[in-house]
Amino acid sequence: MPWDKLANADIAFTFGDVILLPGKTEVEPAEVDLSTSIGEIRLHTPILSSPMDTVTEEEMAVAIARMGGLGVIHRNCTVGEQVRMVKAVKRAESFIIRDVVTVSPADSVEKAKSIMKDMKISGLPVVVDGKLKGIITRRDVYFAEDSGLKVEDVMTKDVITVNPDITPQDARKIMSKYKIEKLPVVDEEGHLVGLITAKDVFYRESHPFATRDSEGRLRVAAAISPFDIDRAKALEPYVDLLVTDVAHFHNENVISATRRISAEVDVPLIVGNIGTYEAAEEVLTRLDVVGLRVGIASGSICTTGEVTGVAAPTLYAVAKVSEAVAKYGSNVAVIADGGVRGPAEAAKSFAAGADAVMLGFALAGTKESPGSPLIVGGKMYKVYRGMGSPSARSRRFVLDRYSRPSKDIAEGIEGLVPYRGDATTVIDKFVAGLKAAFGYVGAANIHDMKAKARMALVSPIGTREIAPHDVKPMDRLPHI
């Protein structure tokens, strides 16, 4: 009955409608553990960067993985470009490099020099039939002035090597003892099977909580369309997770297409976006996934709600989806996506049942987001755009984010966000704010937050009181 629809209307709580109530605490913010899991992947920091072409390319993915989160490379590009970005993240760091670039003793020093320059590497193992014969480094080529010299004339022949079972700690000790920056890894017959570099060993030490795979490489996810199985297959050998990038996942065609991908591509899947209990129930009963992207129309650049009148605000959606996840006893991760501007919205998401948050706006405008800063009115900005904005859609790879009738309608905007400097600093502040919220609630970890947090409604008038009010804010006080 039409009237019943209104009389029994659900309440679509948004982040701004509620506050978290303080609880008795025994935890200091510094003691809070924010780690979470998505399938087999452990994240020290429960943050994913959005697959948007003004948020996540390789630079952002590297930065966020080093901070213990996970980057999702956008798909508004050719398959080749997306695969290249994923591979670049995988190459950024690894304990043992497997695809080592080598030269042979008979090669000219000039050739070795140009390989080092082109590939931006500082040393090359020298091999014959796969067996290690020496190593040539930038220092060796730097002092080789005679252009007729061969690699064997200048290479170091007595190379210190290690076997494939070496641990990072032992590799570091050997490098320090002999003051060397490259450590070739050889098997019992002397075949080169890998290379360890000082840079990678030190990165490992300076980022102990980075999100790494079993080979020490940074982990990375990539966005796909459920209708693009070729893209999913091309990414399969390199990527740690695939993330469907669809505005409304609760659609029979989309679910069927995802089932096919799931059957043919052996990479864990996050699917979404969804916004209701029923959508979660359907996914949990029909698909094998490790995570759900949850929230429809709360994104800072979204016009979906405005244009269509349809929305499942992220806080509401997270609470509904989390109920379905609990009912089906599944440990599928709930990822709050859209409208998480800062730690306050993230804390409320965890309180409502999320396991991680996905950030667009909060990471746009950083040094690592794609695009150069612009100066407008003396201030620095970066462009941030929705994947349904006219300019993002003009590249056409993202048109299938939206259902067929709405393919002709823009569902996002393009705008400027203030330039914010390093993503690392932004994430550090975000995490500090989040830990403070956990401290107020008395939650030592995400599990605790879900169990203990209590929420209360605030009126639109009251919202003003819990933000700075009446005083005109000043960045810096004048000297008195």
Q: Is 167 exposed, middle or buried, given 0-12, 13-18 or 19+ CB atoms closer than 10 A?
A: exposed
- Omega prior to 273 cis, within 30 of 0: yes
Q: Rule CB under 6 A: which of 27-56 touch ligand XMP?
A: 50, 52
77 is catalytic: no
| 304 belongs to the binding site for ligand XMP (CB under 6 A) | yes
Q: Which is nearer to ligand XMP, 226 or 338 (CB)?
A: 338
Count, residues near ligand XMP per rule CB under 6 A: 24
401 belongs to the catalytic site: yes
In the region spanning residues 398 to 417, those forming contacts with ligand XMP, defined by CB under 6 A, are 411-412
CA atoms within 13 A on the CB side of 433: 15
Pairing of strands 269-274, 291-294: parallel
Binding span for ligand XMP by CB under 6 A among 114-122, 142-150, 385-393, 441-449: 385-393
d(CA 301, CA 304): 9
CA distance 250 to 279: 5
Q: How far is the CB of 304 from ligand XMP (least distance, A)?
A: 4
Where in 245-264 is the site for ligand XMP (CB under 6 A)?
247
Cβ distance to ligand XMP smaller for residue 52 or 352 = 52
Nearest to ligand XMP of 27, 346 (CB atom): 346
Under the binding rule (CB under 6 A), the answer on residue 299 touching ligand XMP is: yes
Q: Given the residues 66, 393, 401, 420, select the one marked as catalytic.
A: 401
3-state secondary structure of 331: coil
Catalytic residue among 204, 302, 385, 420: 302
**Using rule CB under 6 A, residue 313 touches ligand XMP:** no
Question: Measuring CA to CA, which residue among 46, 71, 48 is closest to residue 359?
Answer: 48
Element (H, E) at 79: helix 79-92
Instruction: Report 110-149 residues binding ligand XMP (CB under 6 A).
Output: none
For ligand XMP, the binding residue among 300, 322, 349, 366 (CB under 6 A) is: 300
Q: Considering the rule CB under 6 A, would residue 71 count as an interface residue with ligand XMP?
A: no
Using rule CB under 6 A, residue 276 touches ligand XMP? no
Per CB under 6 A, contacts with ligand XMP among 317-376 are 337-340, 358-361
Please tell me the chain's helix, strand, coil percentages from 3-state DSSP, rounded to the nearest 5.
Answer: 35, 20, 40
Smallest distance from ligand XMP to CB 355, Å: 16
Cβ neighbourhood burial of 71 (10 Å; 0-12, 13-18, 19+): buried
As a whole number of angstroms, the distance between CA 302 and CA 326 comes to 29
What distance in Å separates the CA atoms of residue 360 and residue 348, rounded to the nearest whole number? 17
Residues found near ligand XMP in the complex (CB under 6 A):
50, 52, 247, 273, 297, 299-302, 304, 337-340, 358-361, 386-389, 411-412
Which of the residues are catalytic? 302, 401
